[in-house]
Amino acid sequence: MPLHPEAEKIIGQMPAGDSGPAMPLDAQAMREEFRRAWRMPERLQTVGGVVDTVFPGPAGDVPIRVYTPEGEGPFPVLLWFHGGGWTIGCLDENEVACRAVCAEAEAVVVSVDYRLAPENPYPAAADDCFAAVKWVHEHAAELSADPARIAVGGESAGGNLAAVCALKSRDLGGPEIALQVLVSPVLGHPDDGRASYADYAEGYFLSKASMDWFFTTYPRDERDFDDPYLLPLRAADLSGLPRALVLEAECDVLRDEGVEYARRLADAGVEVELVQFDGLIHAFFGLLCAELTDAKEAHARVVSALRSLRSS
Length reported for the chain:
312
137 tagged catalytic: no
Q: Which of 19, 111, 144, 156 is catalytic?
A: 156
Distance CA 82, CA 132 (A): 14
282 tagged catalytic: yes
Q: Which of 4, 82, 282, 299 is catalytic?
A: 282
**H/E/C letters for each residue in the chain?**
CCCCHHHHHHHHCCHHHCCCCCCCCCHHHHHHHHHHHCCCCCCCCCCCEEEEEEEEEECEEEEEEEEECCCCCCEEEEEEECCCCCCCCCCHHHHHHHHHHHHHHCCEEEEECCCCCCCCCCCHHHHHHHHHHHHHHHCCHHHCEEEEEEEEEEECHHHHHHHHHHHHHHHCCCCCCCEEEEECCCCCCCCCCCHHHHHCCCCCCCCHHHHHHHHHHCCCCHHHHHCCCCCHHHCCCCCCCCEEEEEEEEECCCHHHHHHHHHHHHHCCCCEEEEEEEEEECCCCCCCHHHCCCHHHHHHHHHHHHHCCCCC
Nearest residue to 157 via CA among 290, 254, 234: 254
196 tagged catalytic: no
Q: Which of 127, 252, 256, 294 is catalytic?
A: 252
Q: Which residues are catalytic?
A: 156, 252, 282
